[in-house]
Amino acid sequence: MNRIDETFKKLRADNKKAFIPYVAAGDPDIKTTKKIVSVLAAAGADIVELGIPFSDPLADGPTIQKAIQRSLSAGCSVRKVLDMVKELRGKVGIPLVFMTYYNIIFNYGAGRFIKDAKACGADGVIVPDLPMEESGGLADIADKEDFYVIMLAAPTTPPARFRKIADRSRGFIYYVSLTGVTGARKALSAKLNSEVKELKKMTAKPVCVGFGISNPAQASGIASASDGVIVGSAIIKVIEKNLDDRSRMIAKVEAFAGSIARAIHGV
Amino acid sequence: MRRKPRLPDNRGYFGIFGGEYVPETLMPALKELTTAYKKIGRSAPFRKKLRYFLKEYAGRPTPLYFAGKLTEKLGGAKIYLKREDLLHTGAHKINNTIGQALLAVAMGKKRLVAETGAGQHGVATATVAALFDLKCDVYMGTEDIERQNLNVFRMKLMGARVIPVQSGSCTLKDATNEAIRDWVTNVRDTYYVLGSVVGPHPYPMMVREFQTVIGKEVRRDIIRREGKLPGYLVACVGGGSNSIGLFHPFFRDRKVAFIGVEAAGFGIKTGRHAAALMKGRVGVLHGSKSFLLEDDDGQVKLAHSISAGLDYPGVGPEHSYYKQTGRAEYVSVNDREALEGVKLLSRTEGIIPALETAHAVYYLKKLVKRTGKKDIIVLCLSGRGDKDIDIIKKHM
């Protein structure tokens, strides 16, 4: 069984929701990312999303753009991220999923990417610029390897299309909370929870919500309607603010992630 | 009945190139656009309105001018210039923006967003926004804002907002990223006016169909003047809209050679150029699969060209298809040669071409060597050079 399914099975049995933090791998360097993933797991993350940097991240707002730029400037590469996950696997038991843009996978070779990602211990991938129409090749290969391609749905997705996306998605469905790019927002749509509840009626798979979620109160609010909450830019802001001191950075990330985890798990 | 184009297929593919690689948020909007374009954009009343504005407002048809002095100077084939530089706003870009703005109005959209490199597409978009009472935001890289500041002023004068983009190379690629991010955010009321035959389906098809007016007029006029089709069509290629507009109507005429001229920047060998078709690999950028300048890990490389309009690491998918199937030949001309091209046309014909166009002009010097006096070359004079005067002055 894929680790992602195991995780949601256990969370459902405990009547809990998933906390899924995102960090850009290699920001500010691979060694620090490795430590950050360990403390995120210790702080209560149920799944960690690792961004593999791409030069032109068109679904990302300024915070993640800058993180990706720091990672690329420090010499990050696909190979280095895969090796990092391999090393992490000895210490971290929770599912690790990649988030990257399709050109990175296409350039690496879809079949080779999935084989190598699986071999190093990753459990799935999220590709924000690969809609259902273009995902066939990658998803078919991934299915054979029990590697999960997690699909995204958006507020603009009509119901009939959502059903197809849910059917195609593995592990969970990533619901984008707003029309826009990633980045912490002060307020989210008042209709968000009712939208998520409607979507959940159309699929048995977990629906997790990401984009814009910046604090524990927002996280617990969304956790009440969904199966999990994805937090990216808000964590990266903590990294960004502590670039001058790695040990302080790690302590602050752990504290912030802990506060979000408690908010989500307390729902 | 209009003949339906064979390419792209229903999924927006030209062979293996093209497609729709965009965030899910945009997919319903792309489907809406495809449907609206096919239903409204290809309808007779729409085409009638489009023809009206192209003729009365933009100044079509443009002359197919026999460049006698240039022909004499180069001493080979007869050279004709398709004078897109004489259009309102000074370049072929207006053919596309009038079409897309009419479509945006028909779709009930109130706001236009666009990317621009040299500023010609930005100006052409600001122009139609003023004409059709639409709000208009144009994304432009800070390096381009500096080197094309005349166009920045023109856009502002017509009421558009020019939003500086300070990421990556601060040029067209980054402006396109930002325009797409804006569209993802404001997709419900905003129409994205893409300026070239790039991006996700249906843009490469739709922009081509708005630009083929160039090639259709050339075909009609050259047959009237010479009684035969030209042997060579030459145009510069950045994203590739003026070239596709010229080439496509001759797609089935196998004896008409297509020559696309890419920007070699500091020189192909230096690695600092914008020749995606000559030196790129197949990749995915800005919504479609096409040739792309990228490193071994799939990171997009920065392009380099003296002309902001060609300074782009990607290219339209239809060009990739032409390249792969051998239908077109792609060559390159560097910055220094392009400046020579400006001088050549200015001195012989009294026409100052845009730096983009000057790449194609310079290539004529090489092309005539393999032609005879009976051959005919048609060059798409895609834009005029006023916007580039400061850069040209600096280098002369």
Q: What is the pTM of this model?
A: 0.97
Residues A8 and A172 sit within 8 Å (Cβ to Cβ): yes
Q: In this structure, is the dihedral angle defined by the CA atoms of residues A51, A55, A59 and A61, taken in order, positive or negative?
A: positive
Residue A171 gets the label, from left (phi > 0), alpha (psi -120 to 50) or beta, of left
Residues A102 and A134 sit within 8 Å (Cβ to Cβ): yes
As given in the structure block, the two tokens for residue A114 are 């999935």
Q: Specify whether A49 is catalytic.
A: yes
Q: Which of A134, A152, A156 sits opposite B19 (nearest CB)?
A: A134
Q: Would an 8 Å CB–CB cutoff place A106 in contact with chain B?
A: yes
CA torsion angle for B313, B317, B323, B327 (degrees, to 10)? Answer: -140
As given in the structure block, the two tokens for residue B24 are 């899910």
Nearest 5 degrees, angle CA A68-CA A85-CA A112?
85
Contact criterion met (CB < 8 Å) for A129 and B289: no
Contact criterion met (CB < 8 Å) for A181 and B184: yes
* Predicted confidence pLDDT, tens digits, chain B (396 residues): 455 557 999 999 999 999 999 999 999 999 999 999 999 999 999 999 999 999 999 999 999 999 999 999 999 999 999 999 999 999 999 999 999 999 999 999 999 999 999 999 999 999 999 999 999 999 999 999 998 999 999 999 999 999 999 988 899 999 999 999 999 999 999 999 999 999 999 999 999 999 999 999 999 999 999 999 999 999 999 999 999 999 999 999 999 999 999 999 999 999 999 999 999 999 999 999 999 999 999 999 999 999 999 999 999 999 999 999 999 999 999 999 999 999 999 999 999 999 999 999 999 999 999 999 999 999 999 999 999 999 999 998
Number of H helices, E strands in chain A: 12, 9
* ipTM exceeds 0.90: yes
Token pair 């026409």: residue: B351
Helix, strand or coil, per DSSP, at residue B121: helix
Domain count, chain A: 1
Burial A120-143 (b: 16+ CB within 10 A, else e): bbbbbbbbbbbbbbbbeebbebbe
Q: Which residue of A has its CA nearest to B176?
A: A58
CATH number, domain with residue A97: 3.20.20.70
Contact criterion met (CB < 8 Å) for A103 and B297: no
Q: Which amino acid is at B396?
A: M
- Domain span holding position A23: 3-265
Contact criterion met (CB < 8 Å) for B27 and A133: yes
Do β-strands B288-292 and B232-236 pair in parallel, antiparallel, or remain unpaired? unpaired
Q: Would an 8 Å CB–CB cutoff place B300 in contact with chain A?
A: yes
CA torsion angle for A207, A210, A213, A219 (degrees, to 10)? Answer: 20
Q: Would an 8 Å CB–CB cutoff place B10 in contact with chain A?
A: no
